[in-house]
A and B are shown apart, each in its own frame.
Chain A
Amino acid sequence: MSAAATAVELTAPVPRHRRFAGAAASYAGFLPAIVLFGGFFLVPLAIIVCYSFWEVVNYDVVHHWTLGNYDYFFSVSTYVTTMWATLWVAVVATAITIALAFPFAYWLSRYVPQRLRPLLLVLVVVPFWTSYLLRVYSWLTILGEKGLLNRFLQWTGITDHPIGLFLYDRPAVILVLIYLYFPFAALTLYASIERFDWDQLRAAMDLGAPPLTALRKVLIPQIRPGIVTAVIFVFIPVLGEYLTPQIIGGLNGIMIGNLVVNFFQAAEYTRGAAVSLLIAAFIILLLFIFRRSLSAPEAYGG
């Protein structure tokens, strides 16, 4: 709209009120978004920050500033253990996801013929766009007591009774998290490997570099932004996971997100707010570590 305004300006002077109206009109589209993101995203987050520093007296939230909610969280050893376990699960799940996705993306962009690639890419996306809850749920048919894995082990004679080991513990949670976030990591890595000029790798090998050294010194540095994006987009949602530990993890697989839900369901808003803020703090820390490799305008294509 403002370009139209400048185009007119070239031919004849525009009355000031019309120019102002043009500018206002170009911002007007943003008003509903300000209401939505301001009123229902930023303001609630600000309230949560306040809540985490307020205290509850006689079931009422009192606007009295205190660190009590954080003190309480760190004084209960189960909570602290759960927090570290969550970080550990997030690190392990992210690392394995990226480690699995890298050779896959490499294969897709280097060895798969051009005409097959769109189909194979869509097949990676398809599970990603089916229901998240159902993808978690579907693992019960594999890991459960009467699941595929136990049936298989009984059939081969390795064991004669079902093993409950596969379900309701952290390894199962990590496995399902890898399954959930693999498509994202694979697509992100594919997008950055696809732009790589394979002649550089060949040149490095012609100059005597062993293949793995060539990969490490030539390919990896060039796709670092893609790797960082993949790490961030796997790590962040894993930190806030609730469903997977709840359905797959049972009591042993509980994560910090489950603590948040438990606090809020028990109407302990201030304590729940403090735990939520801990999750947010870890996210901010992660973004801070990787800040150099991140650029928001890229998402808008400009």
Chain B
Amino acid sequence: MAAEHAVISTRGRIARGSLGVYGALIYLFLFAPIVLLVLFSFNANRYGTFPITGWTLEWYRAAISDYQIHDALSTTLRIAFEVTIISTVVGTAAAFPLVRSRLPFRNGIRIVVVLPIMIPGLLIGVSLLVLFTQTLHQELSTQTAVIGQAVYTTPFVILLVAARLQGFDRRLESAASDLGANTFNRLRLVVVPLLLPAIIAGALFAFTLSLDEFIITYFLIGGHNTLPIYIYTQVKFGITPEVNALAAMLLGASLAILALAFALPQVIRAVRRGLRHARGRETTLAEGVA
């Protein structure tokens, strides 16, 4: 890099400079809508747009005390928890045979498993709608929405855990067996701790995706409302300052979860290291093996 800088030509400098400006414009493009949305949520103007007539927290108060939003929020969270549990368990369990065993048609299965990410959610939504209402004659409920979302979120967990498993040193497990660990202990003491960052990342992914999911839920939830669906029904009639405030809070929440997804693996590692250190001082080494 340093050598390149030394011999750079005028033309190179122009390219670098104009691309730098271009990069800045791209970030402006990416963030301007979001920043404006947050800005308007504090705007006293009751039409939710320009001009800015003053600053207020009124819309946040209105959004927080709206019972429809309460309802939608509790439904959204309940669905998100169920989806997270299902897709974490199903996805983690499925990652093992996908990476390790000689599953028949393994490549075909691998494609089927990522297909729900690749095809538009619309197709998942309508096909499950037909399955539930026409074939199974089921009433639509939050449960049907949970199943639909899980189809879409589980592949992400599978991909994350499979990627981690791919780089997993199998000899660690053989060593654990040689030292007398049975399958359960091998999983508990060796495999799961090493895969934990991927599993947690997968769970947080599933949770965030579920919070935001619209189209599959829209078809499958029947009479209930999740937050995205509530916002959608409001937005149909134009922007309102309450929705701006709600949107700003939701953006904050997804950013917090995203930050957590990045930070949590490191925190866990640090805590575990601390624990091991503390335990090591008071017990003998042999205990760790048994």
Q: Which A residues contact B (CB, under 8 angstroms)?
A: 1-4, 7-8, 23, 25-33, 36-37, 40-45, 47-48, 51, 61, 100, 103-104, 106-108, 111-114, 120, 123-124, 126-127, 129-135, 137-142, 144, 146-148, 151, 179, 182-183, 186, 198, 211, 232-233, 236-237, 239-243, 247, 257, 260-261, 264, 269, 272-273, 276, 279-280, 283, 296-297, 299-302
Contacts and interface: CB of A to CB of B under 8 A. Distances in A.
Q: Is the interface of B mostly helix, strand, loop or mixed?
A: helix
Given A134-B37, A243-B214, A4 B20 contact: no
A296 B110 contact: yes
Given A147-B50, A148-B50, A240-B119, A132 B97 contact: no
Contacts of A132: 212, 214
B26 A141 contact: no
Contacts of A51: 130, 134
Contact of A273 (B101, B114, B126): B126
A227 to B, nearest CB: 17
A139 B90 contact: no
Contacts of A186: 26
A126 B36 contact: no
25 contacts: A7-B174, A29-B93, A30-B93, A36-B154, A47-B131, A51-B130, A104-B23, A107-B22, A107-B23, A111-B19, A123-B27, A129-B254, A129-B255, A132-B212, A133-B228, A137-B235, A151-B51, A182-B30, A247-B232, A261-B122, A276-B122, A280-B119, A283-B118, A297-B107, A300-B159
A257 B120 contact: yes
B130 A144 contact: no
Interface string B207-233: 010011011000100000000100110
A239 B34 CA distance: 25
Interface of B: 1, 4, 11, 15-16, 19-20, 22-23, 26-27, 29-34, 36-37, 40, 47-51, 86, 89-91, 93-101, 103, 107, 110-116, 118-124, 126-131, 134-135, 147-148, 150-151, 154, 158-159, 162-163, 166-167, 170, 173-174, 177-178, 183, 186, 208, 211-212, 214-215, 219, 228, 231-232, 235-236, 238-239, 243-244, 247, 250-251, 254-255, 258
